[in-house]
Structure 1
Amino acid sequence: MGPPAYIGFAAMGAMATDERMKTLQGLLGEGEELNYRNYCRPFGDNMGMVCGESSGFAILMSDRLAMETGQILEEVFLMKI
């Protein structure tokens, strides 16, 4: 995600900020010192979006090799390189 996306989310007020975190920690009795490990609260009280990055991968192989190696999770019907 590039700078324009971050700027857009911040302009909408959707991003987590230090001020919101301080307010939330105060309401929850967690103290006044910022604890950045608590910014991401997927199942708890929310105070804004925390953007991050991740990655994934796929292993492509022939049908014969896939059958030999075990459980097939997905199938690609057409691929051009």
Structure 2
Amino acid sequence: MVAGLFLYADLRRRGGPLRPAWWSGVCLGIGGFQLYDGTVQHKLLRLHQIRYDVDPRPYDWTWNVVAVLFLLAGLLLWHRARRAGRERTR
């Protein structure tokens, strides 16, 4: 986390990515990992569950829906960053 903040500070100093591009990557990373964790590790491999000794379905659904929402937000921000990048170069 700390290394990522230093990398981000260096990019900003160099006139690096637009904020929507940065947040797009963050949201896509969070959503992708969370969806992978909720489907592959929780359901397919059964490595660990969100909660034990209760019905896990509401927790699983919530976990995966939030993951998809992060992915959608990341895609929306990515689209916005691409459009802003095109306008910046004109």
So what's the TM-score if we normalise by structure 2? 0.24
Q: Which has the higher contact order (CA 8 A, sep 6+)?
A: 2
Bigger helix fraction? 2
Q: Answer with 1 or 2: which has the greater Rg.
A: 1
